[in-house]
Structure 1
Amino acid sequence: MPNPTFFNLAEEKRRELIRAAYQEFSRAPFAEALIANIVKSAGISRGSFYQYFEDKEDLYFYLLNKHAEKSKERFYKSLKERDGDLMEAFVDMFQQMLEKFDNAEYRGFFQNTFLNMNHRIENTFTRSFDEGKYHAELVEISEQVDREKINFSSDKEFIHMVNMTRAITFRHMMKHFANQESSKEEAIEDYRFDIELLKRGFSK
């Protein structure tokens, strides 16, 4: 997380630093991004950067965490609007993610993120560094799910169900960014196809 000095900055300076960070992480994957480019674009010294963030990783995961929080809020809202239909809430969330991530301001950043996905990045999106907290949140979600529309008999089953669905979600997001010719409509149709398979099941 940023140091308190970052939040004490004038809003315009914070926005400029964040803009520079998105620009650099859009230019190159995290491993190749340079702090030198960020501070030059933001018009600050390297020393000032380290007053705000511990390192490049601290800044990068701060940006991801902000998006993870918003995605979580959208998911809860979709689940409520869909009357507890878990799978339709996932479809809604996937569509909303595509629309946001395909925005010119964020596309390069998330293209580099999803095409270089690792365990920590995935966990940031699902807020699961703290497994106990993550499981507690899933149990809370399960209480809002319409049991007539999905079949699970325990918290453990529900947690595994969500984990499998989120894995499919990330795979489709990576596929969309890897295939530059794929439209959002095609990506959503392809994702819904897999969701329908999950809902139907595989065994006769």
Structure 2
Amino acid sequence: MPKLTFFNLPEDKKQMLIHALQKEFSRVPLYEASISNIVKSAGIPRGSFYQYFEDKEDAFFFLLNQLVKENKNNFVFILNKNNGDIFDTMLDFFKLIIKKEDNLHFLRNTFLNMTYKIERTFAGSISDQEMNENFKKISSLINKSNLNISDDKELFHVMQIITSVTFRNIIDKFSRELTYDEAVNNYIIELNLLKKGLIRG
């Protein structure tokens, strides 16, 4: 979490620093990122960086959390637009994630260097790790009438499964350098398998 001094910065200086962070974490993954590059790009003394953030990991997770917040809002918007259909929503959400040019290199570095902490943070875009108020809010928007589930606990696990499939497809897109169409087509196949189930009825 950034320090209070960061939030007290004038908006133009704050945006300049955020842009410098985005530039560096889009260039290389977290463990290779250089604070020297960030401060040079932002035009601030190195000491100032530590007035705003504890370290480069703190700065990285600030950016990631900003992206997750934006994604949560997008997810809820798409879910409403699709009248609560979770599968149509996941497909539209997946397309949005892999198409947004401004975040693509940042996402590529993030997903190809995934840690448990990064995974937990990003999973919050789609479903929370616990059945808390945020999950209940999303649950209330999902049309459950065509889902083969009996309660919110089962819905929670359905969301965990769909989230895992979504993550794997995002990683696959970046690691295999798939085109947008290839990645979407692969994701549609896996979503359809989830919809149909894996055992003949």
TM-score (norm. length: structure 2): 0.92
Counterpart CA distance in 2 for 1:131 and 1:106 is 24
Number of aligned residue pairs: give it: 198
Partner of residue 161, structure 2: 164
Counterpart CA distance in 2 for 1:177 and 1:108 is 9
Partner of residue 91, structure 1: 91
Structure 1 residue 106, shift from structure 2 partner? 2.5
Native 8 Å contact 2:91 2:188 kept in 1: yes
Matched residue type, 2:35: I
Partner of residue 199, structure 2: 203
Partner of residue 3, structure 1: 3
Matched residue type, 2:199: S
Matched residue type, 1:117: M
Counterpart secondary structure, 1:113: helix
Counterpart CA distance in 1 for 2:75 and 2:28 is 29
Matched residue type, 1:57: E
Alignment of 1:1-204 (within 5 A): 1-100=1-100, 103=101, 105-127=102-124, 131-132=129-130, 135-180=132-177, 182-204=178-200
Q: Deviations over 1:70-113 (max 9, x none)?
A: 1111111111111111111111110111111xx1x332211110
Counterpart CA distance in 2 for 1:127 and 1:2 is 19
List gaps (5 residues or longer) in structure 1. none
Counterpart CA distance in 2 for 1:108 and 1:74 is 20
Question: For residues 146 and 127 of structure 1, do their structure 2 counterparts lie closer, same or farther at Cα, with a shift above 3 Å needed?
Answer: closer
Counterpart secondary structure, 2:141: coil
Counterpart secondary structure, 1:83: coil
Native 8 Å contact 1:82 1:88 kept in 2: yes
RMSD: 1.6
List gaps (5 residues or longer) in structure 2. none
TM-score (norm. length: structure 1): 0.91
Structure 1 residue 131, shift from structure 2 partner? 4.7
Native 8 Å contact 1:86 1:150 kept in 2: no
Native 8 Å contact 1:135 1:159 kept in 2: no
Counterpart CA distance in 1 for 2:195 and 2:156 is 16
4+ runs deviating over 3 angstroms: none
